[in-house]
Structure 1
Amino acid sequence: MWRDGVEYPGRGLAVGRDVDGVPFFSYWLTGRSAASQARELVVRDREIVVRDTSGGPADDLRHYTAAIRGDDWVIVGNGTQVAELAALRGEEPDLQRAMRGLTYEPDPPIRTPRITAGATVTSAGLTDVVIGAARPYDGAPEFTEHPSLYVARVAPGSALTTTTYGGSAENVIINGRPEMTAIPLRWGEVTDSLWQSLQPSLRVAAVTVPLDRSDFTGAVLRSRLDESGA
């Protein structure tokens, strides 16, 4: 369900509906370096922030707003593009089109994909779900490609998902390919399922947020800090 057999997924996200039909999104972090592991997810009223816990300087590649909730929409992703796309939404509500202006992260030689998901969320449910990435073109990394997946309505027990990587901590393989996956769980069980799927030495944080309300109330969060006692 969560890319079985992948040791190092980097950052990942999913947006869909649980087995009861409740809309939700999940976002998770893993890290190899001490700087990447010294982070936490901070859940606020209508946003989730990836924050440094080391006391060091801010770094846009590691510290950013990972999710923003509007009155009838949500955007989730792994970098500063989340705030940029949220600010542009009034001008360009088509997320697939808006994502074409993105490029991958400036972190050679890896060239980490920018992964992003968004949806319309109203009392009628979850619609117009989009997930995509800005990733280096295979064989010609100086170019950016934008694979994406759009679903008008998501069936219960399924989600659109992707991760930045697909290999091991020693052999990082970029991913960013969106896919549909089965989620045979209630939304409140998703974070624990994610957490257990991650390599313990690489876990940083994971959160799942129900989208049947106007804010991020009720989010289920797991963190490396909680387990370390920090």
Structure 2
Amino acid sequence: MNYKMILQYDGSRYSGWQVQGNTEQTIQGKLQSVLEKMTGEEIEIHGSGRTDAGVHAMGQVANFKLQSAYEPEEIKRYCNQYLPEDIVVLEVSEVPLRFHSRLNAVKKTYCYRIFLGEKPDVFRRKYVTPVAENLNINKMKAAAEVLLGTHDFTSFCGNRHFKKSAVRTIYEIRIEEKKDELDISFTGNGFLQNMVRILTGTLLEVGTGKREVREMKEILEGRNRSLAGPMAAAKGLVLINVEYE
């Protein structure tokens, strides 16, 4: 049996999605531990993407296989009873055996939240990145336009030893100003390691006048991480949703 799970989590105290040998504080690890206690089976749960340490998710998708059949609602109820409070399973459903949450994903949307000021209020501090400098939003939007479409995004990949194709398609970058917050949403067919955070850091450099809009094309064509801007902090980033055909 193959089960699909939609979940949300506050990534503040976790070392990312993927299980690691030096810590038990991973989302994948917590889920596998609870499911193994429930079923008595050894389980490997696959996420649609490996969110970084400190990154949050509103609609992460995962799948796992079981030898025995369980009612989806039973799995959801058990997980929510025994998982930490900062991980919640929203939905569980049975899917075809060939379904894979990462390999079958066709579109993902991330949102990066920026607090426009020096100090966000205490209840938002873990979910926004403060920027005290004035931002030229129009220039940021112009720079974002250059990034749309299909490109080699090597310059925006945090893994300098990445050997596979770095070609990805970005369908939309939406920049919205809301009172004291700026939200930058990225929708694409997939994202490289740290890609959204590096894109954000580079767009912020354009917004603060440290970089010109025309440089975005040069960064893309240069295919060199050193050409792009810094990586924005993890806490401002959230995986919004994942889409399938």
**TM-score class, shorter:** under 0.3
After TM superposition, the score normalised by the length of structure 2 is 0.24
Which structure has the greater CA radius of gyration?
2
After TM superposition, the score normalised by the length of structure 1 is 0.25
Higher strand share: 1
Higher helix share: 2
